[in-house]
Chains A and B, each alone.
Chain A
Amino acid sequence: MAETSGYNFAYLDEQTKRMIRRALLKAIAVPGYQVPFASREMPMPYGWGTGGIQVTASIVGRDDVLKVIDQGADDTTNAVSIRKFFKRTAGIETTTQTHEANIIQTRHRIPEEDLRADQIMVFQVPIPEPLRFLEPRETETRKMHALEEYGLMHVKLYEDISQHGHIATTYAYPVAVKQRYVMDPSPIPKFDNPKINRSPALMLFGAGREKRIYAVPPFTDVHSLDFEDFPFEIQTWREACALCGATGSFLDEIVTDDAGGRMFVCSDTDFCEKRREAGHAGPALAAEGAV
């Protein structure tokens, strides 16, 4: 694809990049704290990952290889458009393979494959404030973070237990970072929360509409909030992936007909394809092969 001319490398102007870079360094120095930044208008609507794109545009260099996923998939509209955007404005190489990428921009998942120290995760975040649905006023939530006053969040989780018998929050599950700031890990399933804890990779979070940047440095303690008698648990499935037979990955439920037919497949498409290439077959593929 031809590079677009008339724009700076990676679309953003240098002053904007400097402003975002300064915010990123402060975010890394205070893990989990949301740094306000002067989010720019991007050539796409808020809600399409403008925060993540601004972070990626500010860190990316000519030698980087970018992977973009949307709910674990490399081939959805959002992921494809963002990859194209950086191919055109920065002329960089893109990939769909987790191990080839050194910057992975994501909407709502962390790849199944273990991340390495030379990789950077960039999360697209819609609502960065974990307390926002409990307290709508920014002045108040800011004070609550300053005073480390997170009782309200525990009440919310407790109410889950009293209503449903278990903590019913399944995505954007709140975490405490370095035993200080409570942070929204973005709407990833709680299945992915343990992957943030002491990960060797740097994790950056960008919220474009809400104008906040935050970060989790490598090897940082990230604890999913819970209670002694109701410990944090991740989702499990009785089924294996219908295509690759994986049992330890995050599965999406896909309705296949109007008679209650359904199948469960890996949400991480790269992980699933790799397993199939390696000869693994789930029930759906095995049945097909038998015919």
Chain B
Amino acid sequence: MSGLAQQEYFAGFGDPVHEAQACFRSLMEAMSRPGSIVEVDGPCEVPAPLSPVMASVALTLCDYETPIGLVGELRSDAVAGYLRFHTSAPVVDDLTEAAFVFLPNVSALPDLGTMRPGTASYPDKSATIVIDAGSFGTGLDVDLSGPGIETHVCFSATGLDAPFWRHAQANHERYPLGLDIIFCGPNAIAALPRSTKIEA
């Protein structure tokens, strides 16, 4: 009964219209130039282990139309409560229903087959994975190419290891079906749409 008093509350965007717009432009920049690192600001205080940048992505893109899946340590009442309160998005247990899947790190990545890749007629009906990647420029380097990339781009982030990149390349090979990935770092994001080819 004392739950209400003990619960800690965190604010969303201070200026929802313009902060969401700025975050979206960063997301659009990242998605249209895969592998490039784009700055994003987030709300100052968010419930751990949600990062401010990941919170910003969720507040920008999620609402009652987008079921969200929370994996690993993000499956906490505090995080689910925060996202439910600020976005009205339903939090679902079954990842095949989720439009957005949030992961605290790459090792929490479930089998990619558990998330929806879209259908041949509607490849847009696919999930977007949002991963907290620690920091960029550390870890295994891979070579990205494809739409949005002039020639090649070298990309790495904490925890993105060879098995992850094998899964990501398998995801690319299903194009035009597949999942799109957004990596959240400290104060920045990068994206890996399904259209991007990955080479070690």
A residues adjacent to B (C-beta < 8 A): 8-9, 14-15, 17-19, 21-31, 33, 35-36, 58-62, 142-143, 145-147, 178, 180-181, 198, 200, 202, 215-221
Contacts and interface: CB of A to CB of B under 8 A. Distances in A.
B54 interface: no
A27 B124 contact: yes
Contacts of A35: 124
A21 B27 CA distance: 9
Contacts of A59: 21, 24-25, 28
B170 interface: no
Given A23-B124, A31-B195, A61 B22 contact: yes
7 contacts: A21-B28, A23-B124, A25-B28, A59-B25, A61-B25, A180-B176, A218-B150
Contact of B176 (A17, A30, A198, A220): A30
Contacts of A9: 17-18, 21
**Interface size class for chain B?**
35 or more
Contacts, number: 112
Contacts of A18: 20, 60-63
Contact of B124 (A26, A31, A216): A26
Contact of A218 (B32, B66, B175): B32
Given A25-B31, A59-B28, A217 B148 contact: yes
A26 B21 CA distance: 17
B18 A29 contact: no
Given A143-B121, A217-B147, A26 B126 contact: yes
Interface string B146-168: 11111000000000000000000
